[in-house]
Amino acid sequence: MKEYNVAVVGATGVVGSEMLKILAERNFPINNLQVIASEKSAGKKILFNNNEYFVEPVKPGVFSEVDIALFSIGSLPSKKIVPQAVKEGAVVIDNSNAFRMDEGVPLVVPEINGDQLKNHQGIIANPNCSTIQLVLALKPIYDKFGIKRIVISTYQAVSGTGKAAINELEEQIKDFNEKKIIKSKVYPHQIAFNALPHIDVFAADGYTNEELKLIREPRKILNDDDLAITSTAVRIPVFYGHSESVNVETVKAFSVEELKEEINQMEGVKVIDKIVDNQYPLAIMAEELDEVMVGRIRRDNSQDNTFNMWIVANNLRKGAALNAIQIAEKLIYSI
Amino acid sequence: MKEYNVAVVGATGVVGSEMLKILAERNFPINNLQVIASEKSAGKKILFNNNEYFVEPVKPGVFSEVDIALFSIGSLPSKKIVPQAVKEGAVVIDNSNAFRMDEGVPLVVPEINGDQLKNHQGIIANPNCSTIQLVLALKPIYDKFGIKRIVISTYQAVSGTGKAAINELEEQIKDFNEKKIIKSKVYPHQIAFNALPHIDVFAADGYTNEELKLIREPRKILNDDDLAITSTAVRIPVFYGHSESVNVETVKAFSVEELKEEINQMEGVKVIDKIVDNQYPLAIMAEELDEVMVGRIRRDNSQDNTFNMWIVANNLRKGAALNAIQIAEKLIYSI
């Protein structure tokens, strides 16, 4: 079996660490591994498959031996460094928002549009965490019944922001326990015991970037520019696992049983919906599960052909690192 | 000025305590106060306006001198005890779900349908916490533009469940800090660092009672049986303050500026919507504010005449105790 030279860029971040974990778990065929991060992490040691790797900074030529570079360093740094990696010969799978909506950059959830990978020109974009779990639950419905309109409200974990945000929530609840004053640095307001209707920066028309990602990315992934979507993105004091309350209007009539069947047979998706036993998807369950969980599937009687559902997934794994590595796998096994 | 004999039933609970606080704050014209609770609290002392009151249990004749009885003891106990209080001559303002949808029982938010109070037959129902803040934000829109359909997702505080739930969240985060095993008794699953799509018991069609309240109560309060509403009710690890993500389709066209003006001029409602300064309603702000806060008001481009908003209020005050006492005030000052 062919082995590949792989670089993880942003290797010390929460998604980068998860990428390394998943590369090991899935026995990704690695010939040579490079762990790359910012100047201030350079020289640190990272353990991978019981071997130590030194963190390298970005410099000219660092990607010259790399076949596949997995990036998770945020939009601005990605805009600067991804083109260098492509120029030096790597195929980049980028987890940031930098290139997602660009023509010629496939935006891929392998279970849905893995076929788009063949069109890449050096960069493949990994969709936003909140998008990936949403489209995986929507895809079987889209195919079977058609979708007219989607209304989304999210309940997102702080790990989506990164390590500093995880620390901030930990410190705030520690300060709360010790009756100290709660300080906020990462978020504009206290996140402990609060709900912030504000993720990423504010953009056009009063929407946040996170909300716009939820509107634009599903259209590209499902290849339907007319899909009607609106969204409200909210950060809540949860460490891991994004939850989403989703209202869907379909084109064709359905039964709730059909919805459950269709969603459950979708690859990478699992229906958990036994309300008599209080079984429904929960953020704390996502910590140990790679599948997207869907539950609370019920008819919305406020209009025809409409239903509600509750979607939960691990935002660092299927929402980020796992999807990126599944893209890499699809790429190498279909070459 | 006439003074009234007032009883607070459930006086040791979170809403009952808040009722006593608000009666004092607002100088409610009290002649005699009785504080009533369950047998196990009987004999306890409660401080009100620097006087001590002994908690009385419910027994025959306990309401015989009472003009106004403010109940907050849950649906099952209310079903049993409220009829006794009415029989013994009290007018009951009941915070539970027991009588809300009954014919002949006004379901009142004073700023909206205070005129309904004249139709009471001894019982007036206080709407559910999540309903009150919703209808206050909807009312000016309903009057000016008409409403076709509403999609609601809630982010509700544990104080809505009561003292035991507040304690449970406190203990769970304490156990988390001390790296102990987290135990759940009040909720079927861990509430700390989680989002539970399950409030009150499951009822018809896969909806919870809390979700059905959000569908049925606004129809009664706005006097419109055809109002199309769907809802998802979610408990999150917040102590005080319910938040709601609400999508509204109107009958007539609007501008976003008009929406903000109409909502802001509504009595008891305040628009907080300066995104350039990161100003929007937050649960932690609700602790100190009686008004319902509305922000993130923005056009939903997924269909015509539709917008999103974010509504936050103090679930114990305007969502429960304050609204009940405003009902009592409206009742006595309009007699």
pLDDT digits (tens, 9 = 90+) for B3-25: 999 999 999 999 999 999 999 99
> Would you place residue B204 in the very low, low, confident or very high pLDDT band (cuts 50, 70, 90)?
confident
Please give, rounded to a whole number of angstroms, the shortest distance from the CA of B97 to a CA of chain A: 22
CB pair distance less than 8 Å for B299 and A205: yes
**Residue at token pair 């779900």:** B97
Please give, rounded to a whole number of angstroms, the shortest distance from the CA of A254 to a CA of chain B: 15
Q: Are B117 and B330 in contact (CB under 8 A)?
A: yes
pLDDT at A107: 98
Q: What's the mean per-residue pLDDT of chain B?
A: 97
Residues of B in contact with A243 (CB under 8 A): 195, 197, 234
Question: What torsion, rounded to 10 degrees, do the Cα atoms B19, B23, B25, B31 define?
Answer: -160
CB pair distance less than 8 Å for B243 and A195: yes
Nearest to A188 among B237, B278, B296 (CB): B278
> Structure tokens of B89?
């001559």
Interface test with B, best of A304, A308, A309, A311 (most B CBs within 10 A): A308
CA separation for the pair A223, A258 (Å, rounded): 24
Give percent above pLDDT 90 in chain B: 97
Please give, rounded to a whole number of angstroms, the shortest distance from the CA of A38 to a CA of chain B: 30
ipTM over 0.85: yes
Query: Hey, do A4-126+320-333 and A131-315 end up sharing a CATH topology, with the first three levels equal?
Result: no
pTM, full prediction: 0.97
Query: Is the pLDDT score of A288 beyond 90?
Result: no
Looking at residues A139-148, what average pLDDT do you find?
98
The CATH superfamily assigned to A4-126+320-333 is: NAD(P)-binding Rossmann-like Domain (3.40.50.720)
With CA atoms as reference, report the closest residue to B23 among B310, B335, B328, B307. Answer: B328
CB pair distance less than 8 Å for B197 and A296: yes
Residues of B in contact with A196 (CB under 8 A): 282
CB pair distance less than 8 Å for B296 and A197: yes
Judge whether A129 counts as a catalytic residue: yes
Give percent above pLDDT 70 in chain B: 100
For residue A156, give the chain B residue with the closest CA.
B195
Query: Is the pLDDT score of A196 beyond 70?
Result: yes
Segment A76-103, tens digit of pLDDT: 999 999 999 999 999 999 999 999 999 9
Segment B118-149, tens digit of pLDDT: 999 999 999 999 999 999 999 999 999 999 99
**How many other CB atoms are there within 10 angstroms of residue A217's CB atom?**
24
Give percent above pLDDT 90 in chain A: 97
CA separation for the pair B43, B36 (Å, rounded): 10
Considering the four listed CATH numbers 3.40.710.10, 3.30.360.10, 2.40.10.10, 3.20.20.105, the one that applies to the domain covering A131-315 is: 3.30.360.10
Write the single-letter amino acid at A148: K
With CA atoms as reference, report the closest residue to B327 among B268, B287, B286, B285. Answer: B268
Judge whether A189 counts as a catalytic residue: no
pLDDT at A306: 98
Q: Name B183's Cβ contacts closer than 8 Å, sequence gap at least 6.
A: B171, B172, B175
Architecture field, domain B131-314: 2-Layer Sandwich (3.30)
Residues of A in contact with B302 (CB under 8 A): 149-151, 215, 228-230
Q: Name A330's Cβ contacts closer than 8 Å, sequence gap at least 6.
A: A108, A110, A114, A117
User: What does the domain layout of chain A look like in residue ranges?
Assistant: 4-126+320-333, 131-315
For residue B202, give the chain A residue with the closest CA.
A275
> Structure tokens of A180?
């100290």
Number of DSSP helices (H) and strands (E) in chain A, helices first? 9, 13
Looking at residues A105-121, what average pLDDT do you find?
97
For residue A302, give the chain B residue with the closest CA.
B228
pLDDT at A335: 55
> Would you place residue A334 in the very low, low, confident or very high pLDDT band (cuts 50, 70, 90)?
confident
pLDDT at B39: 93
Segment B55-81, tens digit of pLDDT: 999 999 999 999 999 999 999 999 999
Please give, rounded to a whole number of angstroms, the shortest distance from the CA of A174 to a CA of chain B: 7
> Would you place residue A325 in the very low, low, confident or very high pLDDT band (cuts 50, 70, 90)?
very high
Write the CA distances from B92 to A19, B42, B202, B315, B329, integer angstroms. Answer: 61, 21, 28, 21, 13
For residue B193, give the chain A residue with the closest CA.
A238
Query: Is the pLDDT score of B335 beyond 70?
Result: no
Interface test with B, best of A180, A190, A302, A314 (most B CBs within 10 A): A302
Segment A230-244, tens digit of pLDDT: 999 999 999 999 999
Q: Name B40's Cβ contacts closer than 8 Å, sequence gap at least 6.
A: none
pLDDT at A178: 94
